[in-house]
Amino acid sequence: MYREGPGTEPRRPERIVDKLKQGLEQMPGKLGELTAKRNQLVNRARVAATQSKVDHALKALDAGDPTSAIGRFEDRIRREEATVRASRNLPFHL
């Protein structure tokens, strides 16, 4: 049942059990390492997403022309006024 021969170590049930116990004892530590690594990766992903949002927001701002915000506001008001005029010309209101 157990193989023994030159260059091989006898495989006794005690040694197998000891090896399994060692592996079981190491599992909480490995679980802690994996949990820490996952948390680190999640945090890095959140930081990258936040940095991306900040970059997009900064690109949306036109720091060189302070009147551009007023121009965009005026364009939006004109579109709204045109929509109201167009809806008045329709035979029914939406």
Helix/strand/coil for 92: coil
**pLDDT given for residue 92 in this prediction:** 64
Q: pLDDT: is 76 or 10 the higher one?
A: 76
pLDDT above 90 for 31: yes
**What is the greatest pairwise CA distance in the chain?**
101
pLDDT above 80 for 34: yes
pLDDT above 50 for 58: yes
Tokens of 10: 């006898």
Q: Are 3 and 11 in contact (CB under 8 A)?
A: yes
Confidence of residue 1 (pLDDT cuts 50, 70, 90): very low
